[in-house]
Amino acid sequence: MNGMASDHNASSQEEYLPHYLQKEDPFASKLSREADIIAGFYLTVIGILSTLGNGYVIFMSSKRKKKLRPAEIMTVNLAVCDLGISVVGKPFSIISFFSHRWVFGWMGCRWYGWAGFFFGCGSLITMTAVSLDRYLKICHLSYGTWLKRHHAFICLAIIWAYATFWATVPFAGVGNYAPEPFGTSCTLDWWLAQASVAGQAFILSILFFCLLFPTAVIVFSYVKIILKVKSSTKEVAHYDTRIQNSHILEMKLTKVAMLICVGFLIAWIPYAVVSVWSAFGQPDSVPIQFSVVPTLLAKSAAMYNPIIYQVIDCKFACCRSGGLKTLQKQSSLKKSR
């Protein structure tokens, strides 16, 4: 029986070998040197902008005199995740692109893959929590009366534990981190799904709990919010100024959260599609030159959020100043009367 099992394992290994076992050097770049240099400059610019932008968001939040609201605490946590991706992960890939090969070996590859998955999962689960908060705040008004800051910190602990669990599971023997087909970056070993049923179960679990389920919650939350806002806009107009201002602030936070989620998903969905195809499609059917583009797009996700914060803040400031001028005019008219 043992002989039959070993023969079966040998035959299954002969049926499929992942790209990093087919070559003697899995970390040699499969791109041209010019393409690697362009990718290195691109990631350098992305890394600098992301580090400065997210660092600025964290710094300004720490300098605020008023305590952060629960939704703003989540926004700061998202900036921490994006800063972690930029500081911990991007230097590895930048150096490797300029060196025309991955220079940190298997230990560095697994560390880089873990860090990218950990902070990426943390970002997505944070956005999921924010979308649920916005949904409950807008669609179930009684929710906002009992939500306190300590609830937000409990939610942060759950987010970090969730990301740590799924990022560390591959080290327990059910998965792995491996070099990308182009050689100068590392990621989750999607190619395990081609080798065994256990590998397929692992990849499907990752896809469901770290992509499909959080994305479904985000889409559900914002669809419900859009429908609620359309039906309640006229009702809010009849309330007093304080309630209207509170409604404007809630909508501002909702717009920020919605745009952040859209930007994140636009950046990551192409990479997810290529990864799923690598896992369950024809083996090695994704061209190497094509696989690098979604990877670079996904690495730019951390740069968008500070830009979204600033754009929404500027619009909100303009609207608020305009609203204050209108209120001042109304009060002066009342006094004159």
What confidence tens digit (pLDDT) does each residue in 36-56 have?
999 999 999 999 999 999 998
What confidence tens digit (pLDDT) does each residue in 62-83 have?
888 678 888 788 889 999 999 9
In the prediction, which pLDDT does 313 show?
Answer: 58
Residue with structure tokens 């690495």? 299
| Helix (H) / strand (E) containing 120 | helix 105-139
Let me know: does 73 contact 152? Beta carbons within 8 Å: yes
Of 125-139, 240-254, 264-278, 301-315, which range is least confident? 240-254
Let me know: does 211 contact 270? Beta carbons within 8 Å: no
CA 34, 37, 41, 42 torsion-angle sign: positive
E-state strands within 21-65: none
Count of CB atoms situated within 10 Å of the CB of 269 = 15
State mean pLDDT over 299-314: 73
In the prediction, which pLDDT does 245 show?
Answer: 58
Q: Which residues contact 99 (CB under 8 A, 6 or more apart)?
A: 184
In the chain the domains, ranked by start, together with CATH numbers, are 33-313 (1.20.1070.10)
In the prediction, which pLDDT does 70 show?
Answer: 80
pLDDT band at residue 138 using 50, 70 and 90 as cut-offs: confident
What confidence tens digit (pLDDT) does each residue in 231-277 have?
765 555 455 555 555 656 666 767 777 888 888 888 888 999 998 99
Residue with structure tokens 């930029």? 86
pTM above 0.85, yes or no: no
Task: Tell me the sheet residues that pair with 177.
Answer: 188
Q: Torsion angle of alpha carbons 106, 291, 115, 123, nearest 10°? A: -170
CA 9, 11, 12, 18 torsion-angle sign: positive
155 vs 228, residue with greater confidence: 155
Let me know: does 21 contact 176? Beta carbons within 8 Å: no
Q: Which residues contact 31 (CB under 8 A, 6 or more apart)?
A: 39, 182, 183, 184, 288, 289, 292
Distance, in Å, from the CA atom of 198 to the CA atom of 162, rounded to the nearest integer, reads: 22
Q: Helix, strand or coil for residue 6?
A: helix
Task: Return the structure tokens found at 141.
Answer: 């008004």
